[in-house]
Amino acid sequence: MAKFKLTLEYDGSRYAGWQLQKNERSVQGELLQAAAKVFGNQAVELYGAGRTDAGVHARGQVAHLEVADTRLTPDQIKIGMNDELGHAINILRVEKAHPKFHARHDARSRSYTYQISKRRDAFGKKYVWWVRDPLDLRLMREAAARLEGFHDFRSFGATEKEGQSTLVDLDRVEIREEGDRIYIHITASHFLWKMVRRIVGVLVEVGRGNLTGLDVETFLKSNSREPAKYTAPPSGLFLDKVEY
């Protein structure tokens, strides 16, 4: 068996998410189709570090690919698969991986960026969330600081399996402003389903003046359904980096 680590970027607006889905185009599905052509229809397995939702993008998604046997070099695999993929998916690097390497289970942290536009954008609609209201970044940063650390984020996420832990070590939340854009960078050990988008939505409500930092602390200490109401759209979310 040969195993390879793939680092890739993609425009999620064209796909129903990362995960293979019946009768829907997915990033994983497109990669498997490309791999089948490159490896001559050998049995191939491919797993990603994170299962991004429909409309969510990636600049640094990581996946591992398993094939029974191949003499192709990493560069040949990269070029061959990119030639088979549409322009919305691009493999940046292919590296030989340890036989026990797992893209998801071995990841130590993941970093996401959410992009907010302060104005109507003719070109970036698929890649930003246009928030029309003025946002108080000072209040947003103060609330974001309350989220950092090891907490139970059950109010901010949806669990995929019964009994799944909702404890997450959130390393940092950084909010910066550049021109007409606001960028929210979040790094954590891992993320619950929809967690980043709900955090962003809650922080925007704080910036609007509809919620306070104390409300954020309440969400952390209780099992509240309220953050789900503020879930930010997928368009502005990018998986930036996976650390091992």
Query: 56: which DSSP letter?
Result: -
Q: How many residues does the chain have?
A: 244
195 CB contacts (<8 Å, ≥6 apart)?
153, 156, 157, 168
Among residues 53, 75, 121, 171, the one annotated as catalytic is 53
Radius of gyration of the chain (CA): 19
Q: Burial level of 147, CB count in 10 A (0-12/13-18/19+)? A: buried
Residues 90/8, Cβ–Cβ less than 8 Å: yes
Task: State the DSSP string of 59-128.
Answer: EEEEEEEEES-----HHHHHHHHHHHS-TTEEEEEEEE--TT--TTTT--EEEEEEEEESS--SS-GGG-
Our answer to whether residue 53 is catalytic in this structure is yes
Instruction: Tell the residue number behind the tokens 């998801």, with chain if given.
Output: 104
From the list 241, 221, 223, 244, the residue with the least C-alpha distance to 111 is 241
- 89-96/181-188 β-pairing: unpaired
How many other β-carbons are positioned within 10 Å of the β-carbon of residue 43? 9
Helix, strand or coil, per DSSP, at residue 137: helix
User: Catalytic positions, please?
Assistant: 53
